[in-house]
């Protein structure tokens, strides 16, 4: 790496500046603290801290359940498309101490969202009983359908915490009913963009806000009861927190909030510390943005890991797409957090402490850090691509603990631009059955074939019958697993699902595959099958006989998800397990020989449980296959050094030496950290910061008011 | 010995027996023989002299255990071609602890332990539309070919669930004929017959469980009936279903999926029934055994019902049930130290084997029971009436080995309190989901460990009182002598409730009712018919269940009454009322109740003991939980009289349980021998 020519005048390292309330991690592991040290640090004893940390999770759970079980719409009540959180007081920088047992994709952006919204609205202007609503993804992440309701919790006149619920509203205006079209080009087409506004003022509904919402949704009758119920749930959480503070005292309460975040931070640091130091690269590609002649879009991540610190440099990603497949920087942070949780810290509760030991670098105008009015309806497509790029970068370090990738919500829905109609609910989309696909294999076993993307967790209760009862024009002809699609491995990846939906009316919505790449194999396992989408006309002479239907009365959309990646060498899979896979239709006889070197004899179609393994032939075949050169499947993704260096991203050389490692390798640049945007001066050798100065609240983003005023 | 009424509750470790003889309650327990639970039932029956009984009621977990352990008969699943993986996917969601865990797998998926392996799940060429119209006719040749594959694979039973069959059963019915044509008299359940309700996964799962239960309970029922007959029992015995309602065994065998979870609901029924004696309409029931705390809700004298039973994560059955929420907090819950040095209690349990460390059966991890022993709540020589010696040194050693710097007192106190906090939060969650206020409820504490743990909850959660019923160790089994016999049926009919729908609803309900009465053949017995529907506001995707339907033929006025009743119930459950929104009926239900003799809790004579002068049976020292050690008197429950008052801290001993009256609380003995702690 050559040094840039800009040299900054200040030679002495600046003092470490952090946002309010930031505390350095305790010098000892939490478990090694003596009772006295613990009490000094957290203003309560270990028992109280444990009880309260649990209490916070329960309060969030009570709040979310109150909302879910008393809500109106099926999206909330049945599917649980929501997320509740609890954050600490302004004096601590609003640390998020607990999240609900719902959609993981939602909570990564909440710590920033709460701080941004309360600061922008004005802490001083808030009163007990106030509840704010906001859905702008440039302030709070995700997409406009997900409205955040945010309620400050007052105790003796000051804000001691903030509770929030983010929940999916079925329609929030925009050019397409429900919002589902990748070819919407701007925030204006995505829907109503709500800045932080009072929804309830001192416990009373704010009529003007409700009217604004009702006049901009196609489903006011669904929105009204859900918002009322959501408000009640926030009220409940407020009351439960008041009781908790009254019982345990404010000092214990705030101490326990810090404790909950420190514990998550420590768990992540320990997990990071166990990885070998180094620089690792991974890449994922999105093949289309939905418009004709689409370029490919690249997600490239370079992970630098030193000791218990890490930096995720995504500055070499492609520029934002022309349509709705982009994600704001808040969700880029979510993606990094999600990837790390999945790979190295799967079971500890997530808090805002989780990302404390790392920085994220993104460039302005990129697919993972767009500007308004670029559109982000399909933000999760980019989130999952980032997750997979990080999987590719880090999996090679994990050895047997590597996690192969699986289904990631592979497709988006594209509105047929020729039809022009937008006021019908995308019923074909609802019938596409795209909620399900496979997971990759791990050392614990084969991957499931029917799962949601790992960052989702909706409860899909109704299935095909419910969908067809609501939208009778879309018939799901098939939704089942496909043989020989799961990535071969000692443990096999889950199989692809083929979804076939017949639309009786002419369908205006088309599926769009944005990622062709199947789940990569790990630890010697092979990649799963590639995904595919096609449209079959009733008149099509070549229509697939697998449709089972003698006659069609409408076009059929066929979507095949990617297959999950395999784990471990497929030639080491127990031949009996391969035989069971043949019996069960996950692997064909040909696939067993080709992918596993196992010779299975018998007739799986007619006598599935009378199959046998020819062990002698298997030994011979396996030794022949083992002597073949290894292919590259499962290797870490790499790319050649890019020349692109967007404005504002140069790492300016700063003279001086690192106070930690002594190297003269200090640079100044902007990073996205657990507490928001910072301009850091940071040692490139050991990742220790010499200074960290809070930067713009929204990074490079300019709001309308700044242009207007 | 002879008994008039006998109830037997088969649990994993013990089989509990409750009998009523001449108004006297007799309880006993025998070890469950897991290989042949029917033998344990017959042994228990003999012990109480069931041969002469009028009524014999049975709740058993034999079916559930077969499902959970997957020691099941070989069954197949037929569905519409292209949809064979319905049973693998379930509802696609995962639990809290697996939110960010990519190694999680559904416990019944092909990648773990499927109930029906994929090669036995096969697609049939046919398809209906959502309105029941035939889109693709049944291809009988293809169906026969598939059935031949299953025949040659040697399946013992076949479940059939075709898409939209709840609207039009024609293909399922024909397929059932083909099954018997190709496979002879193999057991077969079709979903349109088993539970004709919308949504394919729960219906498919229910049909599958039904076939499994037919195979498991078929010969089991015959053996039991035979054994009871040999004992001299002359009547038809009853099974308890998932709502602990009773069904004559032959009727139960028509749709035995309803028996899959017979045991736990009995506690809810017992609580509701006991509530009528002590005049408490609103009760939370908490049954704490070795591994878990089973919570039920009794509202206005009735157990809170659900229309779905979950056997393990997302493995669901469309059965009416008394809703039980299970928390991983029991006497055997294990105390561990987490990564950040924090203590955890449960959900892992030492169970009955090895059990808590103090049992001396090789358990080395400390448990809640070990904490209770070290705190002085349990007394070594008095556990289970002295039959189970407890070793305090082993408990002490187990707590000492925990990797933490906490003092011994803190370890024990924190473990005890964290266990209680877990139960308290669980109870609060249950009340929040149901929109009720715990301050209006008393907590009925039963199970072996309930009376020792639950009274201290009064310090954590505002409730009216904690009530310990008589025979708390076998109280759940008393629920088997607390219910009526019930015959039930349900059907789905989507439609906005408007006057013109009245004739169709009327027809549907009458058909179900007449069928029930005809099949059960008890026109000469006292019967109560309850008709309800599950409805929703137009636009909702979920239902509010059990809305009352007026009696008699329905007209425009009765439809209006149904709509009003819906809004009332919706408001009570959800707190909001939407009078202007149309109401859609979804599922209609008919239940026919036949009165069955029930347990009566005898009245206790008033105390002869002057206030504050109840004779003590011993003294213990309560350690670790209060600032200082405190002496506590111990009492024999059998000598207590009505209106006796015991000031805490105090201990009440009885055979299968120990009650702890915390400091600052008072236990008052009620007229049915219940201890009311406030």
Picking from A266, A458, A475, the nearest residue to B340 by CB comes out as: A266
Q: How far is A517 from chain B (nearest CA, A)?
A: 19
Chain B residue numbers touching A435 (CB-CB < 8 A): 92
Residue among B338, B370, B377 nearest B354 (CA): B370
Burial of B432 (0-12, 13-18, 19+ CB in 10 A): buried
Closest to A396 measured CA to CA, from A487, A525, A492: A525
Q: How far is B6 from chain A (nearest CA, A)?
A: 39
| Chain A positions in Cβ-Cβ contact with residue B583 (cut-off 8 Å) | none
Backbone phi and psi for residue B206, each to the nearest 5 degrees, phi listed first: -65, -45
Interface touch A62/B432, C-beta < 8 Å = yes
Alpha-carbon distance B352 to nearest alpha carbon in chain A (angstroms): 28
**What b/e readout covers B156-169, taking b as 16+ CB neighbours within 10 angstroms?**
bbbbbbbbbbbbbb
Q: Which ranges of B160-263 does DSSP label H, i.e. alpha helix?
A: 170-183, 191-194, 200-231, 249-252
| Interface contact flag, B576 A350, Cβ < 8 Å | no
Residues B540, A51: C-beta atoms closer than 8 Å: no
The residues of chain A scoring below 70 in pLDDT are 1-27, 408-435, 461, 504-519, 541-550, 630-648
Question: Which chain B residues touch A468 with a CB distance below 8 Å?
Answer: 129-130, 164
Q: Which residues of A touch B117 (CB under 8 A)?
A: 580, 583-584
How far apart CA A325 and CA A514 sit, in angstroms, is: 9
Cβ-defined contact of A445 to B118 (cutoff 8 Å): no
Q: What is the pTM of this model?
A: 0.90
Q: Are A341 and B100 inside 8 Å of each other by CB?
A: yes
Nearest to B81 among A46, A263, A548 (CB): A548
- Residue A141 phi, psi (nearest 5): 85, 180
Q: Name the closest residue on chain A to residue B108, using Cα atoms.
A: A448
Task: Tell me how close the Cα of B98 comes to any Cα of chain A, in angstroms.
Answer: 7
ipTM: 0.89
Residues of B in contact with A236 (CB under 8 A): 432
CB contacts of A61 in chain B (<8 Å) are: 429
The nearest CA of chain A is from the CA of B328 a distance in Å of: 15
Residue A231 belongs to what H/E stretch?
helix A220-248
pLDDT, tens digit (0-9, with 9 covering 90-100), for B186-218: 999 999 999 988 899 999 999 999 999 999 999
Nearest chain B residue to A584 by CA distance is B119
Q: Which of A37, A41, A49, A50 to mutate to test the interface with B (most CBs of B within 10 A)?
A: A50
Half-sphere exposure of A16 (CA within 13 A, CB side): 11
Distance of CA A190 to the CA centre of its chain: 20
User: Can you read off the two tokens belonging to residue B289?
Assistant: 């055994």
> Two tokens at B145?
């070919």
- Residue closest to B489 by CA, chosen among B187, B223, B197, B207: B197
Whose structure tokens read 């035995």? Answer: B256
CB-CB under 8 Å, B101 with A31: no
C-alpha neighbours within 13 Å on the C-beta side of residue A352: 25
| A80, A348, A479 ranked by CB distance to B82: nearest | A479
How many CB pairs below 8 Å do chains A and B form together?
A: 267
Q: Which residues of B touch A267 (CB under 8 A)?
A: 339-340
User: In which residue ranges of chain B is pLDDT below 50?
Assistant: none
Tell me the chain B residues in contact with residue A347 when contact means C-beta distances shorter than 8 Å.
97, 100-101
Give me the residue from B83, B343, B425 closest to A479, CB to CB. B83
> Nearest CA to CA, how far is A662 from chain B (Å)?
32
Choose from B78, B84, B89 for mutation: most chain A CBs within 10 A. Answer: B89
Question: Which among A221, A346, A580 has the least Cβ separation from residue B539?
Answer: A221
Residues of A in contact with B404 (CB under 8 A): 31
**Residues from chain A contacting residue B123 (CB–CB below 8 Å):** 480, 548
Helix (H) or strand (E) holding A139: helix A137-140
Rounded to whole angstroms, the Cα distance separating A54 from A70 reads: 24
Tell me the chain B residues in contact with residue A550 when contact means C-beta distances shorter than 8 Å: 136
Phi/psi at B589 (5° precision) = -130, 145
**Contact flag A104-B432 (C-beta cutoff 8 Å):** no
Residue of A nearest to B166 (CA): A465
Q: Do B129 and A472 touch (CB under 8 A)?
A: yes
Residue A635 pLDDT? 38
For chain A, helix, strand, coil in percent to 5 are 35, 20, 45
**Residue B327 dihedral angles phi and psi, to the nearest 5°:** -105, 145
The C-alpha of B44 sits at a distance from chain A's nearest C-alpha, in angstroms, of: 42
Q: Do A607 and B97 touch (CB under 8 A)?
A: no
Compute φ and ψ for B255, nearest 5 degrees: -140, 70
Nearest chain A Cα to B154, which residue? A609
Is B82–A478 a contact, with Cβ atoms under 8 angstroms apart?
yes
What residues in A contact B105, CB-CB < 8 Å?
439, 444-448
* Chain B partners within 8 Å of A270 (Cβ): 339
Which residue does chain B place closest to A70, by CA atoms?
A: B574
Residue A74 and residue B541: Cβ atoms within 8 Å?
yes
d(CA A524, CA A654): 43
Whether A320 contacts A366, CB under 8 Å: yes
C-alpha count within 13 angstroms, C-beta hemisphere, residue A216: 20
Kind and range of the H or E run holding A573: none
Q: Which of B104, B130, B131, B329 to mutate to test the interface with A (most CBs of A within 10 A)?
A: B130
The minimum CA-CA distance between B554 and chain A, rounded to whole Å, is: 26
* Cα dist from B516 to A393, B510, B522, B549, B593, whole Å: 64, 10, 10, 17, 11
B89 contact residues in A (CB cutoff 8 A): 436, 450
The answer for residues whose C-beta is within 8 angstroms of residue A612's C-beta and 6 or more apart is: A579, A600, A601, A602
Quote the strand ranges of B61-198, DSSP E: 75-80, 121-124, 127-128, 134-136, 157-161, 187-190
Out of A101, A341, A609, closest to residue B119 by CB: A609
Q: Do B92 and A435 touch (CB under 8 A)?
A: yes
Residue of B nearest to A493 (CA): B111
In chain A, residues with a C-beta closer than 8 Å to the C-beta of B86 are 463
Mark yes or no for CB contact B103/A454 under 8 Å: no
- Whether B84 and A469 lie within 8 Å, measured CB to CB: no
- Identify all chain B residues contacting A55, using CB atoms and an 8 Å cutoff: 421, 425
Which two tokens mark B41? 């039932």
Q: Among residues B45, B49, B46, B43, which one has the least CA distance to residue B2?
A: B49
């Amino acid at each position: 790496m050559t040094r840039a020519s800009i040299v900054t005048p200040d030679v002495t390292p600046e003092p470490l500046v952090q946002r309010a309330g930031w505390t350095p991690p305790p010098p000892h592991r939490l478990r090694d603290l003596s009772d006295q040290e613990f009490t000094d640090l957290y203003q309560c004893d270990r028992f109280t801290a444990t009880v309260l940390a649990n209490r916070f999770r329960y309060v969030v759970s009570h709040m979310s359940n109150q909302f879910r079980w008393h809500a109106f719409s099926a999206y909330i009540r049945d599917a649980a498309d929501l997320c509740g959180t609890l954050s600490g007081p302004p004096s601590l920088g609003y640390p998020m101490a607990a999240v609900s047992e719902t959609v993981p994709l939602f909570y990564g952006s909440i710590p920033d969202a709460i701080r941004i919204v309360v600061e922008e609205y004005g802490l001083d202007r808030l009163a007990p009983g106030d509840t704010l609503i906001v859905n702008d993804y440039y302030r709070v992440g995700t997409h406009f359908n997900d409205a955040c309701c945010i309620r400050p919790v007052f105790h003796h006149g000051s804000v001691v915490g903030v509770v929030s619920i983010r929940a999916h509203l079925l329609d929030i205006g925009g050019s397409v009913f429900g919002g589902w079209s990748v070819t919407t080009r701007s925030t204006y087409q995505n829907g109503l963009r709500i800045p932080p506004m009072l929804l309830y003022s001192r416990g009373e509904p704010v009529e003007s806000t409700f009217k604004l919402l009702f006049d901009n949704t196609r489903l006011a009758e669904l929105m009204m009861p859900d918002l009322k119920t959501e408000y009640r749930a926030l009220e409940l959480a407020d009351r439960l927190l008041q009781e908790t503070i009254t019982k345990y005292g404010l000092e214990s309460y705030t101490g326990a909030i810090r404790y909950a975040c420190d514990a998550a931070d420590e768990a992540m640091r320990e997990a990071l510390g166990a990885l070998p130091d180094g620089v690792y690269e991974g890449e994922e590609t999105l093949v289309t943005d939905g418009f004709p002649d689409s370029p490919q879009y690249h997600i490239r991540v370079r992970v630098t890991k030193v000791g218990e610190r890490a930096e995720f440099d995504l500055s070499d990603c492609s520029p934002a797409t022309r349509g709705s497949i982009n994600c704001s920087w808040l969700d880029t942070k979510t993606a990094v957090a999600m990837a790390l949780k999945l790979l190295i810290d799967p079971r500890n509760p997530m808090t805002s402490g989780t990302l404390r030991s790392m920085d994220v670098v993104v460039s302005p105008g990129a697919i993972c850090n767009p500007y308004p009015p670029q559109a982000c309806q399909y933000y999760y497509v980019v989130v999952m691509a980032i997750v997979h790029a990080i999987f590719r970068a880090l999996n090679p370090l994990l050895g047997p603990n590597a996690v192969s990738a699986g289904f990631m919500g592979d497709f988006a829905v594209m509105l047929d631009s020729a039809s022009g109609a937008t006021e019908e609910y995308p019923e074909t989309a609802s019938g596409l059955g795209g909620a399900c696909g496979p997971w990759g294999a791990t050392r614990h076993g084969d991957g499931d074939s029917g799962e949601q993307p790992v960052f989702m967790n909706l409860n899909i209760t109704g299935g095909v019958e419910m969908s067809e009862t609501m939208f009778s024009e879309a018939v799901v002809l098939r939704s089942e697993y496909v043989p020989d699609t799961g990535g071969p491995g000692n443990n096999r990846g889950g199989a692809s699902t083929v979804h076939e939906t017949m639309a009786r009316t002419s369908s205006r919505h088309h599926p769009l595959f944005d990622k062709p790449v199947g789940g990569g194999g790990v630890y010697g396992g092979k990649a799963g099958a590639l995904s595919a989408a096609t449209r079959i006309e009733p008149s099509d002479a070549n229509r697939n006989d697998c449709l089972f239907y003698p006659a069609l009365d409408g076009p059929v959309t066929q979507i095949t998800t990617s297959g999950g990646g395999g784990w471990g060498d497929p030639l080491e899979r127990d031949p009996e397990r391969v035989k069971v896979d043949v019996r069960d239709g996950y692997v064909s006889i040909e696939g067993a020989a080709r992918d596993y070197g196992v010779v299975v004899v018998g007739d799986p179609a007619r006598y599935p449980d009378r199959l046998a393994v020819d062990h002698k032939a298997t030994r011979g075949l396996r030794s022949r296959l083992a002597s073949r050169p290894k292919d590259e499947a499962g290797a870490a993704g790499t790319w050649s050094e890019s020349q692109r260096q967007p404005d504002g991203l140069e790492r300016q050389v700063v003279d001086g030496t690192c106070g930690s490692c002594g190297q003269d390798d200090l640079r100044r640049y902007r990073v996205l950290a657990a507490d928001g945007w910072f301009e850091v001066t940071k040692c490139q050798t050991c990742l220790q910061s010499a200074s960290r100065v809070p930067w713009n609240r929204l990074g490079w983003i300019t709001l309308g008011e700044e242009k207007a005023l | 010995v002879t008994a008039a009424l006998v109830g037997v509750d088969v649990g994993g470790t013990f089989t509990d027996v409750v009998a009523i003889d001449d108004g006297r309650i007799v309880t006993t327990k025998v070890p469950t023989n897991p290989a042949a639970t029917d033998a344990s039932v017959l042994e228990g029956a003999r012990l109480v002299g069931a041969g002469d009984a009028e009524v014999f009621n049975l709740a058993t977990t034999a079916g559930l255990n077969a499902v959970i352990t997957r020691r099941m008969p070989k069954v197949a699943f037929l569905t519409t071609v292209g949809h064979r993986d319905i049973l693998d996917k379930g509802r696609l969601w995962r639990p809290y602890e697996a939110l960010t865990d990519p190694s999680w797998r559904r416990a019944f998926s092909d990648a773990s332990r499927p109930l029906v392996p994929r090669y036995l799940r096969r697609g049939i060429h046919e398809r209906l539309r959502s309105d029941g119209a035939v889109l693709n006719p049944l291809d009988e040749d293809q169906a026969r070919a598939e059935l031949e594959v299953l025949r040659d694979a040697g399946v013992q039973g076949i479940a059939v669930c075709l898409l939209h069959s709840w609207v039009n059963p024609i293909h399922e019915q024909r397929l059932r004929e083909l099954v018997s044509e190709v496979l002879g008299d193999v057991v077969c359940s079709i979903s349109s017959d088993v539970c004709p309700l919308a949504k394919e996964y729960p219906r498919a799962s229910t049909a599958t469980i039904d076939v499994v239960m037919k195979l498991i309970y078929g010969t089991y029922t015959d053996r039991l009936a035979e054994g009871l007959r040999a004992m001299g029992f002359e009547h038809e015995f009853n099974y308890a279903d998932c709502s602990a309602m009773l069904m004559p065994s032959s009727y139960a065998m028509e749709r035995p999926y309803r028996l899959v979870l017979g045991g736990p609901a009995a506690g809810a029924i017992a609580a509701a029934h006991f509530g009528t004696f002590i005049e408490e309409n609103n009760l939370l029931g908490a049954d704490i055994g070795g591994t878990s705390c089973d919570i039920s809700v009794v509202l206005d004298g009735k157990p809170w019902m659900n229309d779905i039973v979950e056997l393990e994560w997302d493995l669901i059955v469309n059965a009416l049930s008394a809703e039980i929420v299970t928390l991983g907090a029991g006497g055997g819950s294990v105390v561990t130290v987490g990564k950040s040095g924090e203590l955890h209690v449960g959900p892992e349990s030492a169970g009955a084997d090895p059990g808590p460390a103090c049992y001396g059966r090789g358990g080395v991890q400390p448990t809640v029971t070990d904490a209770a022993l070290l705190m002085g709540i349990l007394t070594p020589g008095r556990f289970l009436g002295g039959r189970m010696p407890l070793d305090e040194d082993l408990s002490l050693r187990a707590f000492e080995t925990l990797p933490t710097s906490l003092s011994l007192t803190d370890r024990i106190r924190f473990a005890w309190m964290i266990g209680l906090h877990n139960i308290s939060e669980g109870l609060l969650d249950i009340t929040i989901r149901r929109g009720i206020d715990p301050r209006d409820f008393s907590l009925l504490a039963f199970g072996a460990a309930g009376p020792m743990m639950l009274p201290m909850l009064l310090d954590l959660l505002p409730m009216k009182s904690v009530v310990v019923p008589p025979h708390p160790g076998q109280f759940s089994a008393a629920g088997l002598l607390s219910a009526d016999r019930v015959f039930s049926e349900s059907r789905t009919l989507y439609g906005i409730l408007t006057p013109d729908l009245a004739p169709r609803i009327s027809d549907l309900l009458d058909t179900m009712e007449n069928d029930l009465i005809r099949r059960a053949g008890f026109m000469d017995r006292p019967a109560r018919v309850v008709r309800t529907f599950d409805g929703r506001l137009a636009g909702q995707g979920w239902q509010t269940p059990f809305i009352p339907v007026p009696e008699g033929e329905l007209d425009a006025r009765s439809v209006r009454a149904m709509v009003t009743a819906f809004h009332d119930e919706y408001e009570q459950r959800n707190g909001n009322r939407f009078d202007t929104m149309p109401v859609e009926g979804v599922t209609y239900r008919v239940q026919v109740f036949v009165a069955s003799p029930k347990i009566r809790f005898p009245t206790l004579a008033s105390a002869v003991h002057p206030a504050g002068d109840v004779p003590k049976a011993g003294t213990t020292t309560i350690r670790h939980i209060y600032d200082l050690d405190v002496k506590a008197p111990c009492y024999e429950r059998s000598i207590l009289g009505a209106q006796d008052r015991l000031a805490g801290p105090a201990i009440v001993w009885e055979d299968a349980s120990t009650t702890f009256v915390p400091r600052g609380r008072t236990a008052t003995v009620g007229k049915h021998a219940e201890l009311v702690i406030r």
